[in-house]
Chain A
């Protein structure tokens, strides 16, 4: 308890530093830049922070990290905008937001979806910051427990809780997921250093980036589907109501259980360095199974926006902690921030909290303030962004195509990726029309590589014995949860049958 009291004193001091007018100004600038970065596809948080990093060298470390972390928050907020409006997730963790966010926008509820997304992001991030304030040192110890086997178990759990029974035929779900795994495997195999599935084609060296696939499958595929339904579909759909924010807020407290669950999933996934993407999928999957509206998920259920957004942002924020305390980045963006810390002469690691207390607590205080500033800023833009949908389709469609192409290019600075995006677009249209679910494919591309890597690292360590996944309490319990999550739909079906069987008689 003593430790917590001490933390609060330090935090109070930190607020003094962070609420300096110059720093508040930096926060606002950072958030705005971040939103722009988040909205432009391909120019994700990691890129944005990396690009602006050199500009901060002349600032004090505290001001610099405030600017950069606020860009990061802004990008997190901004990623939701394109997901909801155009079905194009700017960041991996926004994918799950498209599942219900975009259907909401299509039925004229873009403002609601955006408000829900922004508010949930804020709630998730805030929960994670409070957690950091209270138990930072303990958490760092916990993160050290995670070797390859534990990491694999976490990926397995994320997978198992997302992929369950869906309305599509099982063989199609499996094909879709396996295509994702196969695409994730293309390129250099990290464990053996061999190239695989590249067939000597230089362009395939890089493998298939998740973003290329998603921009094509979701973004381009969406345009093609809209064309098929007739041009005039858009335009009339979006009505702007300046009071949409208040109206949505009134409905949100109803989902407190989903929020809380997603916060916990997010924090946990952020600390175990699995990250925001699996957290968002897992939270969505669990919400879908648990919620009484679960059947309606995917058709524009606001709870389907709340769950993944809350979890993603709780995870994104919680991931800052291992970075500071251990020097291991929880995400690509965190990796760039880490580089920044080194350049300013700060060494992330066990001594940072002790030696650079002012910096650390200034940063944590800026997380509180930055999130509040960010929420206010982005909420005011909701009507503006929602009104984009009123632009006629024949103007917006080519512009979206151009944005997709730029986004696909900037991921790896490769024109080949622009071609691949188009291929994915056609594939997305075809698969969607023939009832193949796209979500498992995307999840497999995102997690396939990391999961395989963790699996093989574990086996290298154990000399090829699979018992490593049951070798200690931590890994066994995560694996156990994963197995339960995997067979949950079967249990559910059995229960339903039990319940249903007496009725006909």
Chain B
């Protein structure tokens, strides 16, 4: 009997599904089945957190008629996820969130894809990078730390970062070039781990994103020295004593001429229609208006630039060239 009832249930669902597929298509394009949201990184990382927050916001505010389903495809530094999107030509029910590995993975590993293989939708935000040291170190400013690095022999100072030949190491190489000294770069799996290693004194400095290390700053375990952006951060909420994100100087003003921002953007598979892209641009515009999103931006001290269309493509073009240049100089380009 048990089997009969499950069978009945199956038949019922099948009927329900057929009924759903017969709904008439409305004028403007809308998703007709759950949209897969590919995260080309592991569970729990920065991109994954952002994707799941987006999923939560969209579900809570009913911004989409169907569901958004987050799927992690992290193999080969995210290459697996990008290849999956690339091969799903014309499928409008798939979007992917990118981080800098959009540029670095094909260059460093030779995995065959390029951002031009995908359809750019929108830039959601840019993630900042901050130079951190342990709060017990004597360096109060970036200048003091730079002077200490310059005074010591090569490879005395250890810089920790996430992954290898990715954004953190690219910044490290740029810092090395600006200072004319080598540092020892130690890769770790995730940003949180890097911050804790810095608290434990196993490395001397890190270039963690604000959200990864802010709690250690509040606890007076880590100290931000400077931010790798062209202007200081706008967020004035107090974090430790009188200090806020806005009191962190830019690295350029501290004599370290390095700028780097990481893309948090959305792409679709190749060959989707303008209408379909427009739907998602609108969707994410609505997301940006929600209080939850604004809170996330503030917590993570994100750079809130939003771009779509040709402006976004131009930015991507330029950013790709920058990455290529930086990685070429660092010798990170795959041989084959």
Contacts and interface: CB of A to CB of B under 8 A. Distances in A.
Chains A and B touch each other in the complex, with CB atoms below 8 Å apart: yes
Interface of A: 46-47, 50-51, 53-55, 57-58, 144-148, 187-195, 198, 202, 205-207, 322, 326-329, 332, 335-336, 338-339, 342-343, 345, 347-352, 412-414, 453, 457, 460-461, 463
Contacts of B109: 188, 193-195
A46 B72 CA distance: 12
Nearest to B332: A193
A385 to B, nearest CB: 16
B77 A193 contact: yes
Interface string B60-81: 1000000000111111110110
B165 A343 contact: no
Contacts of B185: 460
Contacts of A202: 80, 83, 111
A207 B75 contact: yes
Secondary structure at chain B's binding surface: helix, strand, loop or mixed? mixed
Given A191-B164, A335-B44, A461-B202, 14 more contacts: A54-B56, A58-B60, A144-B200, A190-B163, A190-B164, A193-B165, A332-B42, A332-B43, A336-B43, A342-B211, A350-B218, A350-B219, A352-B215, A413-B72
A53 B52 contact: yes
B299 interface: yes
Contacts of B73: 206, 412-414
Nearest to B164: A193
23 contacts: A47-B43, A50-B43, A54-B59, A191-B164, A193-B108, A194-B108, A194-B109, A195-B110, A198-B76, A202-B83, A205-B80, A205-B83, A206-B73, A206-B74, A206-B75, A342-B49, A343-B53, A343-B292, A349-B215, A412-B73, A457-B186, A461-B158, A461-B184
Given A54-B52, A58-B60, A195-B109, A339 B219 contact: no
Given A205-B111, A206-B76, A206-B80, A190 B200 contact: no
B192 to A, nearest CB: 5
Contacts of A192: 164-165
Contact of A349 (B163, B166, B188, B219): B219
B200 A146 contact: yes
Which 3 A-B residue pairings sit nearest by Cβ, starting from the closest? A335-B44, A349-B215, A206-B75
Contacts of B332: 193
A461 B215 contact: no
Contacts of A148: 186, 202
Nearest to B218: A351
Contacts, number: 165
Nearest to B56: A54
A329 B192 contact: yes
B190 A351 contact: no
Interface residues on B, range: 35 or more
Nearest to A453: B189
Interface string B77-94: 101100100000000000
A329 B215 contact: no
B143 interface: no
Nearest to A209: B75
B35 to A, nearest CB: 14
Contacts of B296: 343
A190 B187 contact: yes
Interface in B183-206: 184-190, 192-193, 195-197, 199-203
A187 B203 CA distance: 27
B303 interface: no
B49 A348 contact: no
B196 A347 contact: no
B76 A147 contact: no
A351 to B, nearest CB: 5
Most buried by B among A57, A322, A349, A461: A349
A190 B111 CA distance: 16
Contact of A327 (B43, B70, B195): B195
B128 interface: no
Contacts of A336: 43-44
A192 B164 CA distance: 6
Contacts of B155: 463
A322 B188 CA distance: 17
Interface string B19-55: 0000000000000000000000011110011001101
A205 B43 contact: no
Most buried by A among B45, B164, B202: B202
A50 B70 CA distance: 9
A53 B189 contact: no
Nearest to B217: A349
A343 B49 contact: yes
B112 to A, nearest CB: 9
Nearest to B295: A345
A188 B196 contact: no
A327 B76 contact: no
B75 A187 contact: yes
A327 B219 CA distance: 12
Contacts of B323: none
A351 B217 CA distance: 9
B133 interface: no
Contacts of B164: 189-193
Nearest to A194: B109
Contacts of A352: 215
Given A50-B52, A190-B189, A339-B44, A350 B75 contact: no
B177 interface: no
B214 interface: yes
B100 interface: no
A348 B215 contact: yes
Most buried by A among B42, B111, B295, B296: B111
B161 to A, nearest CB: 11
A54 B110 CA distance: 35
A292 B54 CA distance: 55
Contacts of A335: 42-45, 190, 192
A458 B305 CA distance: 39
A322 B197 CA distance: 12
Given A188-B109, A190-B189, A57 B71 contact: no
B199 A144 contact: yes
A188 B59 CA distance: 34
A408 to B, nearest CB: 15
B169 to A, nearest CB: 8
B215 A332 contact: no
Contacts of A146: 200
A461 B185 CA distance: 8
